[in-house]
Structures are given as structure tokens and as C-alpha cells.
Amino acid sequence: MLTKLLKTLNESRYSIKSGAYFQRTLHSAYKHHEKYLEIRYRASLKNKVLCKTIDAGLPLSQKGLRNVLGTPRCVISNSTNPGVEIMCYRLPYGRFESEVEFHLYQDALFFYNYSFTAIPVSKQREIIQFIRQKHLNNETFSPDHEVISDHGALISIETGFNLNIRCFSSIHQPILDEFSAQIRNQKKNKRRVDHKQQLVYQGL
């Protein structure tokens, strides 16, 4: 029943924003691996709140997500961010509708984001209250907190004109570690190339 409902909502009249919208905005927003490290770093600066589970049972592969949620509005890949694919849906969150991005690296879901565009402050508070009820048994929670589960998943909120609920799955840390290693190697290779070029210029 839940699978059928989610598929219907994703494919129904609620599908306001087209695949082209996702292509334009997300293609530029997630050009490089650094973006995920920045989001994780901002979350790490917040006060920690512990919970038992976050989105237990959420599929961690593209096939699993398709089986539960249906066909995505679009799937985005970027040559400057190799190995990452973003599946885009419109899904319910509490009583609200949200644009949702599922980010997979080598077919492993490590990050997902619920985005609410131009949402009033009163409704932002209602969504935050929903998170408290769903994950924290109404314990204290605000955008200044980061929710961490026993299995290493986490939730962090970024407010403003838009509201974003940033979620890292339980398998995110090894993937972010790999991103960090790739970035270090890229910088090391760039320094090596720059040094060789400098030697060539000095020899002219």
C-alpha cells in the first residue's frame, strides 16, 4: 500500500517541476565531490541529538528505490563528479510535498535531500515538529541540532528562503572518505604538474 501511494504521488499532478528544472539546478549544485564534504562539515558543527533509527528500511540502491518509489522524474550524472548519480522525485514529507534528491555513488545511496521551496516560517516549524515526533519522541530539536542514529545515519536542517532536510545514510562515511582521498590526490597531481611547468618556464 505504501509503495503504491508513493508511486502515485510521484507520478501525479503534484509533479510540478520538470526534469529540466532538476537538471539545471542540481547539475550545477553538485559539480564536485567537495559539495558533500561541505554539507557534512556544516552539520558536524551543530549540537548532537541521538536517535535509534533514521528512515529504517530505505533502499540503498537505484533498483531498490525504483521498486519502492517508481520511475524518477530524472536521473542526473555529471562528468565532473564521476560515479555519482542523482535520482529526482516529488514525495510527501509529513503533510507537505517535497522535491527529493537521492544521491548514489557507484549505486550506493549515501545522501538524500528533501527541499521545500519558498515555504513560510510557520510551515517550516511544522516540518521541524514532524521530525521531532518521527525520530526524537518530541525531544528538543531545532536547526541548530544534528540528529545521529545508532547506525551512523544523520539528519541536518538548513533554513532560509527554502528549507532543506539533509540526510546522510548509514553507509555515507566510507564514501566521503573516498571523496576526500580523491580530492587530495587531485591536488597532489596538480601541484606536480604545476611544478613541472614551472621548471619548463625557468628553462626557457
**Digit-coded pLDDT (tens) for 3-26:** 444 444 454 333 335 566 677 778
What average pLDDT does range 150-171 have in this prediction?
91
Question: Is the per-residue pLDDT at 60 higher than 80?
Answer: yes
Question: Is the per-residue pLDDT at 84 higher than 80?
Answer: yes
Q: What does the chain look like in DSSP terms, one character per residue?
A: -HHHHHHHHHHSTT--S-HHHHHHHHHHHTSSTHHHHHHHHHHHTSEEEEES-SSTT---SHHHHHHHH-S-SEEEE-TTSTTEEEEEEEEEETTEEEEEEEEEETTEEEEEEEEETT--HHHHHHHHHHHHHHHSTT----TTEEEEETTS-EEEEE-SSSEEEEEE-TTHHHHHHHHHHHHHHHHHHHHHHHHHHHHHHHH-
Question: Is the per-residue pLDDT at 178 higher than 50?
Answer: yes
What average pLDDT does range 175-189 have in this prediction?
90
Domain ranges (residues) in the chain: 2-174
- Do β-strands 47-51 and 145-149 pair in parallel, antiparallel, or remain unpaired? parallel
What per-residue confidence (pLDDT) applies to 12?
38
Q: What is the dihedral of CA 41, 43, 47, 49, to 10 degrees?
A: -130
Question: Is the per-residue pLDDT at 186 higher than 90?
Answer: no
pLDDT band at 34 (very low <50, low <70, confident <90, very high): very high
Question: Is the per-residue pLDDT at 1 higher than 90?
Answer: no
What average pLDDT does range 185-192 have in this prediction?
78
